[in-house]
Amino acid sequence: MTPKSVEQLRSESIANEEFYAKIAGGSQQHVLTAYAGKIFNCDAREGVIDKRTEIVDIGKFVKASIAGSSGEDTSIDPFTEYGKTLIEEADKFQKKVDNAGFEPVQHIYGSAGPNLFESPYEVVRRTNYLLDVVGPSYADPSYFNAINAVNVRQVEQLNFTGYIKSAVVGAQKEIGDDVTPQPVRQAFTSYEKAIYADSMRYEFSMRDKKDSVFDIEAEMTADVRGAFDTLKDAKVTDLINAVSSSGDVSPDWDALDATHGAFTGFADNDVRVADQALRAYGGGDLIIMPQDTWNLYRRNVGGQFIVPKGVQSAEPPTARTGQLPMHEHLTYYINDNLTASTFAVINKRTFADHFMGPVLNISYKNSMVSGQVEGRIVFDFNGIKQKLAAGCKRYIGTT
């Protein structure tokens, strides 16, 4: 299949300019883009992210916020010179707003002023909003941990060609002094991948915002990140659940000997078998399972649940990830989106790639209606591609 062009993806996956004009009543709109941990004052759908418009490094911003709140070193500078210029201009305008009483912002700028949505004041205000959406502010990340089971790749393009290594190469053992080694070649297969956007749109009128006893916009923002993380998590867990079973665990992890009352099956050995089946790909990186399987494993290994030497704790405060007892080289993740009574040992580099594209925040305001409706559309471009199903060894029937 011929890969679709950026123009085709734009028309099929996201609303085009005519749609924006319709929902905004032909009024103002503005686009910010988050990509690779940074926020840019540009529209990534145009095919190129203008690096000159970088405003802030999200990771540095979070670190600076934590350091500042704890009284530690505040020398971390997350803003670019361009971003600092926007903030300075926004601060100047904020003083005008503060001194203007109840006069509308549009009147302060005046008819000769810049487009309100493209003004430094609005760019800074919407950057703060986008930081909340893409930053680690909302929803316990331990519940959206399936992303750790795949290889995460940042991509700037919306459609591209990828490659999969079909097999590993071997070496010849102890050749004779007069033997010429045989040449080997690696084998690759290619695939075409187009990523589309997860999306959310919401609106508030000025009456909605004014008459609410609490900040309804802040309440909505608090749910946005969790909503998108839920979709990403399901894409990975759906892929794992769809992998054909490598076998049924027997005996079950809770099966007991009628005479001695001991477990007749060994959970750690079943995991070892799954891990060894991945040796051709370098072994397993992690094991992922629902809560019921994790509880069975803990009870089955019993007294062997010991904190490994040099490790502070087998269970971090979230208790949804850690190093698997008896197989400390495997990181375990508890995720209840997986089918009950199953587990999967995964080599993440081989199994699947989750492509993370840009996140767009489109803001618009319809000044032609009495309610002065202001709305936002968030487009989160991402997609998953299974490379080799053999990179995931999934077993069923632990109970």
Spell out the domain ranges in the chain.
6-157+191-238+354-386, 245-352+391-396
Below-50 pLDDT ranges, the chain = 1, 3-4, 6, 9-10, 12-21, 23-26, 107, 111-115, 137-138, 304, 317
Q: Rounded distance, CA 215 to CA 238, Å?
A: 36
At residue 21, the pLDDT reads 46
Per-residue pLDDT tens over the stretch 224-278: 888 999 999 999 999 999 999 999 998 899 988 877 778 888 999 999 999 999 9
Which residue's structure tokens are 């032909």? Answer: 26
Biggest CA–CA distance in the chain, Å, is 93
Tell which residue, 98, 160, 102, 94, has the closest CA to residue 123: 94
> 3-state SS of the chain?
CCCCCHHHHHHHHCCCHHHHHHHCCCCCEEEEEEECCEEECCCHHHCCCCHHHEEEEHHHHHHHHHHHHCCCCCCCCCECHHHHHHHHHHHHHHHHHHHCCCCCHHHHHCCCCCCHHHCHHHHHHHHHHHHHHHCCCCCCHHHHCHHHHCEEEECCCCEEEEEEECCCCCCCCCCCCCCCCCCCCCCEEEEEEECEEEEEEEEECHHHHHHCCCCHHHHHHHHHHHHHHHHHHHHHHHHHHHCCCCEECCCCCCCECCCCCCECCCHHHHHHHHHHCCHHHCCCCEEEECHHHHHHHHHHHHHHCCCCCCCCCCCCCCCCEEEECCEEEEEEEECCCCCCCEEEEECHHHHEEEEEEEEEEEEEEECCCCCCEEEEEEEEEEEEEECCHHHEEEEECCC
pLDDT at position 150 is 96
**pLDDT (tens digit per residue) in 128-186:** 878 888 865 445 667 889 999 999 999 988 888 888 887 778 899 999 999 999 898 88
Q: Are 159 and 194 in contact (CB under 8 A)?
A: yes
What confidence score (pLDDT) does residue 139 get?
Answer: 52
The third-level CATH classification (topology) of the domain covering 245-352+391-396 is: hypothetical protein PF0899 fold (3.30.2320)
Structure tokens belonging to residue 214: 């609490």
Q: How many CB atoms are closer than 10 A to CB 102?
A: 4
Q: What span, in angstroms and rounded, lies between the C-alpha atoms of 13 and 357?
A: 13
Give the orientation angle of helix 120-134 with respect to helix 81-99, to 10 degrees.
Answer: 110
Site of tokens 């703060």:
128
Q: Cα separation of 299 and 176, whole Å?
A: 54
pLDDT at 225: 87
Query: Residue 312's pLDDT is what?
Result: 53
Residue 24 is predicted with a pLDDT of 44
What does the pLDDT read at residue 142? 76
pTM above 0.95, yes or no: no
Whether omega before 251 lies within 30 degrees of 0, making that bond cis, reads yes
Residue partners of 227: CB distance under 8 A and separation at least 6 = 200
Give the rounded distance of the alpha carbon of 34 from its chain centre.
12
Contact criterion met (CB below 8 Å) for 380 and 387? no
pLDDT score for 379: 95
- Taking Cα atoms as reference points, which of 394, 145, 398, 147 lies closest to residue 294? 398
The single-letter code of the amino acid at 236 is: V
Place of tokens 């704890």: 70
Q: Which amino acid is at 262?
A: A
Residues 6+ positions from 102 with CB-CB distance below 8 Å? none
Separation CA 13–CA 19 (nearest Å): 12
